[in-house]
Amino acid sequence: MPNSPSTTSTTATFSEFNLDHRLLKAIEKMGFTTPKPVQQQAIPLTLEHKDLLVSAETGSGKTVAYLLPALQQLLAVPAKPPRIQVLILCPTRELAQQIFQQSQQLCEFTALKTGLITGGSDFKKQQALLNNNTDIIIATPGRVLEHFQIENAYFQSLRLLILDEADRMLDMGFSDDVLAIVEQCNKQRQTLLFSATLRHFGVIKIADKMLKSPRVLSLNTIHDGHDNITQQLVLADDHDHKLKLLAWLLEHEPHEKALVFANTRLRAEELYNAVRGVGLRAGLLHGEIDQKDRNRTMFLLREGTINTLIATDLAARGLDIKGINLVINFDIPRNGIDYIHRIGRTGRADEQGTTIALVKHTEWNLMAGIERFLKQDFIRRTLKGLEGSYQGPKKLKSSGKAAGSKDKKEPAKKAVVKKVKVRERDRKNIGKRRTPTKAG
Ligand code: AMP
């Protein structure tokens, strides 16, 4: 696949991109003054009609990086019917809604129309959107295919196809769906593919199939340290101990909004009941909840009626909710990439955030593997009155390090943590799916 080094543009304002004044007005209203690095690089290339393969995380400003030049192209050369000119595919309904909102904000001073096509919403209304003068469609793949059963010619005049969170879409098993949709899109279109990582075999394979001589932009800061997120871990003896730690943290740890991750739907429901049982204002989000309830929960969290969300990894990608400054991993995620996405729900747009992992002895190796993957040592912490007997692996315990401190946040000693054999991780944990030792 053709590759190109990322450009090092130093664009200081959005007006330097020669954008339509209506878009600049919207950008100003949204409060954005300086383009983010992904915007500096992707906007000019998209305006030059190049295909792009971009590695950029959520939180980097990538949505505006593709929406803004897409809208600019539509304003520069107005569309003739049938009007669907831009299709944006993404993995989850929540992410689609978020992109939809940003598109509507950017379109505020134009006549451009954005439509949302996701599962769990009225099919007939969506048919009307697909048939009547909608310029930009934001969709999840499954629902688009359902519409294809009735009619599949919607995207034959498409000018721009954008795949957002492509790695996640493939991990969720949407590969065939995406390819089936692309098959029905105008072959002369421009294509942009955004992924959190380019170290994903499926992404490279699909990029080879659908991008023409793409420019590759590597903006991923996945190993850059997340300087604005304080990463802590608290050791727990067992599940019950974790429940007590969770309740304490939600009640006493200073925060505006908290996000608690569980590895399974059942666990999420259990935590939700436990948290509600101690009188906290919490919501629950997982894939089996009815879409109306999911929307309502997100609305209540955004506007602050509830300030705790218990969720599965459904909430790990792309969600951008103001005020989340505490992320608790009740269960340790299964690999480093998932961990990064979970903690990325805080510390967004340069705000400060704290993330706390509750670690049982059975999760120690997984957690240590994630630390090595990130090349970071998390701060070991104990909560006064809730100290357990588990102190980590023997080697750490005998070193007399941070684990013994009471309700203190002390940095773990790098050298000691590094001694927790790399070989153990290599046998078991995150190294299975990816190649973290090469990832740095
Ligand atoms: P995203 O990576 O698209 O999820 O964006 C992350 C957050 O950055 C969102 O809240 C955006 O509204 C915000 N954002 C996008 N572009 C800018 C910008 N140029 N300046 C400040 N914030 C931005």
Mark whether 190 and 237 lie in a shared domain: no
Tell me the pLDDT tens digit for each residue of 393-435. Answer: 876 544 334 433 344 444 433 323 333 333 333 333 333 333 3
pLDDT of residue 405: 38
Cα dist. 333→13, 31, 263, 429 in Å?
39, 34, 7, 11
Tokens (6 digits) for 36: 């983010």
CA atoms within 13 A on the CB side of 210: 30
Task: Quote the ligand 1 centre to 318 CA distance (angstroms).
Answer: 11
Tell me the pLDDT tens digit for each residue of 269-303. Answer: 999 999 999 899 999 999 899 988 999 999 999 99
Mark whether 190 and 257 lie in a shared domain: no
Tell me the pLDDT tens digit for each residue of 96-150. Answer: 999 999 999 999 999 999 999 999 899 999 999 999 889 999 999 999 999 999 9
Asked if residue 82 is part of any domain, the answer here is yes
Task: Quote the ligand 1 centre to 349 CA distance (angstroms).
Answer: 6
220 Cβ below 6 A of ligand 1: no
- Tell whether the model's pLDDT for residue 349 goes beyond 70: no
- Atom number in ligand 1 closest to CA 34: 19
Mark whether 369 and 278 lie in a shared domain: yes
Task: Quote the ligand 1 centre to 320 CA distance (angstroms).
Answer: 9
- Atom 5 in ligand 1: residue holding the nearest Cα: 61
> How far is C-alpha 410 from the geometric centre of its chain's CA atoms?
29
CB 318 within 8 A of CB 340: no
Cα dist. 287→119, 120, 294, 312 in Å?
11, 11, 9, 8
Mark whether 371 and 243 lie in a shared domain: yes
Mark whether 286 and 181 lie in a shared domain: no
Beta pairing partners, 284? 310
Closest among 212, 218, 165, 223 to 185, alpha carbons compared? 212
Mark whether 240 and 351 lie in a shared domain: yes
Which whole number is the average pLDDT over 344-372? 86
Cα separation, 304 vs 312, in Å, equals 20
12 Cβ below 6 A of ligand 1: no
Mark whether 133 and 70 lie in a shared domain: yes
Helix/strand/coil for 295: helix
32 Cβ below 6 A of ligand 1: yes
CATH of the domain at 249: 3.40.50.300
Asked if residue 88 is part of any domain, the answer here is yes
Mark whether 280 and 167 lie in a shared domain: no
Cα dist. 394→266, 372, 391, 426 in Å?
33, 19, 8, 19
61 Cβ below 6 A of ligand 1: yes
Asked if residue 421 is part of any domain, the answer here is no
- Atom number in ligand 1 closest to CA 102: 12
- Atom 6 in ligand 1: residue holding the nearest Cα: 59
Task: Quote the ligand 1 centre to 65 CA distance (angstroms).
Answer: 9
pLDDT of residue 331: 97
Mark whether 200 and 334 lie in a shared domain: no
Least confident window among 82-86, 184-188, 216-220, 221-225: 221-225
Closest among 252, 313, 241, 251 to 282, alpha carbons compared? 251
Residues in the chain, overall count: 440
Q: How many domains does the chain have?
A: 2
Mark whether 164 and 266 lie in a shared domain: no
- Tell whether the model's pLDDT for residue 344 goes beyond 80: no
pLDDT of residue 436: 31
Mark whether 29 and 169 lie in a shared domain: yes
379-381 and 409-411 strand pairing: antiparallel
Task: Quote the ligand 1 centre to 384 CA distance (angstroms).
Answer: 38
Task: Find the domain containing 301 and state its range.
Answer: 229-381
At 208, the pLDDT band (50, 70, 90 cuts) reads confident
375 Cβ contact list (under 8 Å, min separation 6): 223, 225, 440
Task: Quote the ligand 1 centre to 32 CA distance (angstroms).
Answer: 8
CB 288 within 8 A of CB 265: yes
Asked if residue 387 is part of any domain, the answer here is no
